[in-house]
């Protein structure tokens, strides 16, 4: 779907056309879900945050400026919703035990190839969760959405130097965590 086609559907959506929402939803759902899943710590919360993204999309659509790329506007909305959710969860964590809120789901069954892909995604996701939210959002925007440093700075309303710093620190932490995991796996294989 081209940006122009998307604008047509968004205009119809503003007028309450349900079919327009279906077209827009089909076009953005995978990106919305993946982006939220990278930014939210608890997998169980991803669907709730995705729902909040769509609610906010409806509320904010009248304020959308067609001169701005829709994807950038949508990603800004996703980041705000994820940030708000994480802030809300942080408040809850002060009141409740962390372990009860961060229970993990059992892995899905599937073919061997799917299992390997899921394991890699989970490893990357787990590594990303070890970063601060600010570093994680920069890395997700940079590598998942392929934004330039300047676009990320504009989207997050921060200086380009700050984006580059968060990017560098985030990658350094990812490398250290990945090295530890590799060392631990190698140690397990040498013991047996």
Instruction: Count Cβ atoms within 10 A of the Cβ of residue 61 and give its class: 0-12 exposed, 13-18 middle, 19 or more buried.
Output: middle
Residue 103, domain member (yes or no): no
Same domain, residue pair 1 and 93:
yes
Residue 105, domain member (yes or no): no
Query: Which domain covers residue 45, as residue numbers?
Result: 1-97
pLDDT in tens, 41-83: 778 889 999 999 999 998 888 888 888 888 889 999 999 898 8
pLDDT in tens, 140-164: 888 888 889 998 998 889 999 999 9
- Exposure string over 127-154, b if 16+ CB within 10 A, otherwise e: bbbebebbbbbbbbbbeebebebebbbb
Residue 144, domain member (yes or no): yes
Same domain, residue pair 92 and 131:
no
Residue 104, domain member (yes or no): no
For the chain, the domain total comes to 2
């Amino acid at each position: 779907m081209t940006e122009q086609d998307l604008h047509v559907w968004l205009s119809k959506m503003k007028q309450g056309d349900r079919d327009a929402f279906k077209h827009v939803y089909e076009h953005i759902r995978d990106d919305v879900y993946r982006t939220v899943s990278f930014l939210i710590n608890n997998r169980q919360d991803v669907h709730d945050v995705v729902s909040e993204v769509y609610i906010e999309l409806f509320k904010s659509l009248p304020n959308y400026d067609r001169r701005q790329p829709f994807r950038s506007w949508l990603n800004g909305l996703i980041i705000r919703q994820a940030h708000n959710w994480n802030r809300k969860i942080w408040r809850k964590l002060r009141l409740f035990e962390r372990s009860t809120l961060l229970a993990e789901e059992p892995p899905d069954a599937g073919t061997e190839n799917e299992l390997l892909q899921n394991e890699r995604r989970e490893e990357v996701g787990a590594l990303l969760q070890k970063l601060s939210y600010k570093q994680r959002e920069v890395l997700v925007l940079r590598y998942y959405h392929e934004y330039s440093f300047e676009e990320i700075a504009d989207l997050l309303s921060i200086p380009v130097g700050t984006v580059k710093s968060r990017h560098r620190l985030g990658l350094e932490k990812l490398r250290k965590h990945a090295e530890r995991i590799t060392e631990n796996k190698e140690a397990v294989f040498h013991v047996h």
